[in-house]
Amino acid sequence: MEAVTKNQELNLTWPEEGITRVPYQVFLDQKVYDEEQKNIFRGPTWNYLCLEAELPNKNDYKTGFIGDTPVVVTRSSDGTFSAFVNRCAHRGATVCMDSCGNSRSFTCVYHAWVYDDKGNLKGVPFKNGVNGNGGMPDDFDTKKLSLTKVRVENYHGMLFGTFDENLEPVDQYIGEKMGHYLQRVFNGRPIKILGYQRQKMQNNWKLYFENVKDSYHASLLHLFFTTFGINRLSQKGGIDLDERGMHHVSYTFGNKNENENVYKNEKVRSYSKYTLDDPSLLDGWDEFDDGITLAIQSIFPGVVLQQIHNTLAVRQLLPKSPGECELVWTFIGYEDDSDEQIEMRLKQNNLVGPAGYVSLEDGGIGEMVQRAIVRDGEKTAFIEMGGKDVKSENYRITETSIRGFWKNYRTLMGL
Amino acid sequence: MSNQETLGLTEIKEKIQQLSDQYIHCIDDDRLEEWPEFFTEDCTYKIISRENYARNLPSALIYCKSKGMLKDRVSAHRNANIFEAHFYRHIVSNSLIMGESNGVYQVQSNYVVFQTKLDGNTEVYNTGKYVDQVVFEQGEPKLKERLVVYDTLNIPSLLVTPI
């Protein structure tokens, strides 16, 4: 896969082997990070903002990020969703200081400039001066000083934003195959927000995203899964990619089709007998009727939808610097869940999140990479498990999704 | 030993304070197997963010609804989970008994946990408030419920050792 145009800003040549190698420099370099903000997060990508269910009422708003650009997302009086950069058009101050709320307008505290919930400038104190003195010049035009607007689309209850005026609609960006998996969860049933969990990791954001796409590590780094038969690689499942290899789903069917001896013969550390004192942690029900009990889905460049039995969550990945990123988990259920079902979701929540029985290792493993590569930017990672190409498979011992990420990364970055 | 009704208020306060001190020494000294014994059988233990607690959202980092689930957290820590070695140092203070009804004492206190990893650097890892319900069994205080309501919304890396 050739990069279309070579990035002149970066002094970086991709290894000749292509997407089966990643130069560690991309995790370390400030210029690479800045180019990512320009070419990826402000480029031809749809970026997850929040859920429609988090803005249930007219004039609800919350703050968030696209890449590391701070944004505000609103539900207007007319019911439509808007987003704008959280930076006053006057002299650059943060306009919205709180994390969420309800308001028809946004007033910058510095000079009290007032914007409506679509980011249009509505009021400027002393615009006409005082007692005939001062004020703005005659050519002052409030229409030219709105907040930087972000294009917003609502995908079945997930709000996405882009800075790219010409980008295809979000449902084409996601595609039919990936859309099918998103719509399993976002199926029209009103969503109930169960809460937020947040963590910060001292590693480059791409190391976390690789980890999400990495179905190879699942039963080797996360012992809990394996021993309880929640996700063994010998269980039937696979990897589905969209046509471009940008997005992925790793899915697993329930306990019915597994070969336990495959594990015993591997003699890897991760196989061991382990019993729960209180197994009610795993009480659950068939959430969806397709037999899939586990689905981890990534949508480029930085959002994940997870179904692990009955614990459902959206994970939003936020780059902060070459060596730091944050992860915001939004846990959900449905408004028509019974109390019993909610309780089971909350117990299964123990499996995931920053303290999750099966996900906590992911919070630490990226840091272990970031520290070890510090002085070896010209060395490379080796990504050939499952082959050298990018395609859907009916098995999960593969790094094909990771290769898909780098294929699209290289295209967007001109590398 | 006398049951809770015959303990004077001073003795009750002392015993609740002792429970708090023993609890944190147990965790900091890596005697995790003793940790579940500070709780009643039908206990509740939750590590939940200030954000979720204030907004009445139920999702918690750790949610145990029995002593058995506490033991499973210890067992996973020892046998299953993989993480870098780390040491906690709790400081707990400003403890107040807010009230009592039917033998259940509502207690709140502030905590901060410092964490040190193998690089030898200590960071403020997590701070917040313990919101407890303490009962007396055979004259000894036990936690019927401990909510660890944390201010540090951004968990550094991961959380595996209970607070």
CATH code where residue A332 lies: 3.90.380.10
pLDDT number for residue B62: 98
Three-state secondary-structure class, residue B119: coil
| A-B contacts (CB, under 8 Å) | 123
pLDDT number for residue A231: 47
Q: Give the count of domains, chain A.
A: 2
Alpha-carbon distance A98 to nearest alpha carbon in chain B (angstroms): 13
Give the closest of A277, A347, A353 to B65, CB-based: A347
Residues A265 and A389 in one domain: yes
Enumerate chain A positions whose Cβ falls within 8 A of a Cβ in B. 193-202, 221, 223-224, 227, 272, 274, 276-278, 280-281, 326, 331, 342, 346-347, 349-350, 353-355, 357, 360-361, 363-364, 367-368
Alpha-carbon distance B64 to nearest alpha carbon in chain A (angstroms): 8
pLDDT number for residue A255: 61
Q: What are the E-state strand segments in B27-139?
A: 39-49, 62-64, 86-101, 104-117, 122-137
Structure tokens at A368: 């272990």
Question: Distance between the two ends of chain A, CA-based, in angstroms?
Answer: 11
Structure tokens at A327: 């992860």
B5 pLDDT band (50/70/90 cuts)? low
Q: What is the mean pLDDT of residues B5-15?
A: 85
Amino acid at A100: C
**A236, part of any domain:** yes
Chain B residues closer than 8 Å to A200 by CB: 154-157
B145 pLDDT band (50/70/90 cuts)? very high
Chain A residues closer than 8 Å to B63 by CB: 346-347, 349-350
How high is the ipTM of this complex?
0.95
User: pTM value?
Assistant: 0.94
Residues A374 and A320 in one domain: yes
> Residue B157 and residue A363: Cβ atoms within 8 Å?
yes
Q: How many CB atoms lie within 10 A of CB A382?
A: 10
Write out residues in chain A with pLDDT < 50, as ranges: 1-3, 229-233, 256-271
Q: Give every CB contact of residue A129 below 8 A, 6+ residues apart in sequence.
A: A135
Give the closest of A193, A201, A272 to B57, CB-based: A193
**A378, part of any domain:** yes
List the domain range (segments joined by +) for residue B10: 4-150
Residues A221 and A312 in one domain: yes
Give the closest of A198, A199, A278 to B157, CB-based: A199
The packing angle between helices A360-372 and A205-213, to 10°, is 130
pLDDT number for residue A5: 66
Q: What is the mean pLDDT of residues B111-135?
A: 98
Three-state secondary-structure class, residue A366: helix
Three-state secondary-structure class, residue A11: coil
**A182, part of any domain:** yes
**B138, part of any domain:** yes
Burial (0-12, 13-18, 19+ Cβ within 10 Å), A306: buried
The torsion angles phi and psi of A84, rounded to 5 degrees, stand at -150, 160
Q: pLDDT digits over A294-330, tens only?
A: 999 999 999 999 999 999 999 999 999 999 999 999 9
Q: Give every CB contact of residue B60 below 8 A, 6+ residues apart in sequence.
A: A195, A346, A349, B46, B47, B48, B52
B6 pLDDT band (50/70/90 cuts)? low
